[in-house]
Amino acid sequence: MVYAFIVGPVAITVRYWEEHAPNSQVEAGARVEVRRVTPVIGGHDRPGAAGWRIAPVSDGGIWRADLLELIAGDQHEPRHHYHPDFRDGDVGTRVFDPTLTADPVGWTMDHLAGLPALLVEAGAPELANEIDMAALRRALPAVRTAIVECTGPRDPATAPV
């Protein structure tokens, strides 16, 4: 399952993710992204017909936090990192931060709570003033719940898709 929270010109998306490396290592957990959103006029000119288009990472990615753990048998090694520098359709290199590893959910929520500053730092300052802060504050508890739901490796038979 993918959770999407639209706050003005951006969406905060949360999903369970597994990264399979060529060396057979698997990292799994929550992937949290901030992406650009554009309104879409519906096919009928009436209230409720409009919607939103959440841009793919290549066209509209702004920021990502990967709250992943390396799965090695019964051992789970933290591989929490983030991508603050999306450029040319790519997420850029992984950035590791000891405070992210110490409290991945709290660290991510702190960054999302300051979404306008995050947008400026991530190179999207034109979007910062368009964030509806009241809507963001209302969404944050549900964002946290989604992150917790998607955090940590899952049994493939029961993992959210």
* Residue span of the structural domain in which 29 resides: 2-150
Flag whether pLDDT at 23 surpasses 70: yes
114 part of a folded domain: yes
Flag whether pLDDT at 157 surpasses 70: no
Distance in angstroms (rounded) separating the CA atoms of residues 118 and 128: 8
77-117 pLDDT, tens digit per residue, is 899 999 998 888 888 899 999 999 999 999 999 999 999 99
Q: What is the CA radius of gyration of the chain?
A: 16
159 part of a folded domain: no
According to the model, what pLDDT value does residue 82 have?
A: 96
What is the average per-residue pLDDT within 38-61? 82
The amino acid at residue 1 is M
- The pair of three-digit structure tokens given for residue 58, joined into one six-digit string: 């290549």
Tell me if residue 41 falls in helix, strand or coil: coil
158 part of a folded domain: no
State the average pLDDT for the chain.
Answer: 89
Say if residues 105 and 147 touch (Cβ distance below 8 Å). Answer: yes
According to the model, what pLDDT value does residue 17 have?
A: 94
* 108-58-116-112 Cα dihedral, nearest 10 degrees: -20
CA 139 to chain centroid? 14
For residue 59, the tally of other CB atoms under 10 A from its CB is: 10
CA nearest to 153, candidates 68, 94, 33: 68
What is the average per-residue pLDDT within 60-66? 94
Distance in angstroms (rounded) separating the CA atoms of residues 14 and 49: 25
51 part of a folded domain: yes
What is the average per-residue pLDDT within 55-75? 87
21 part of a folded domain: yes
Counted domains in the chain: 1
Distance in angstroms (rounded) separating the CA atoms of residues 26 and 124: 32
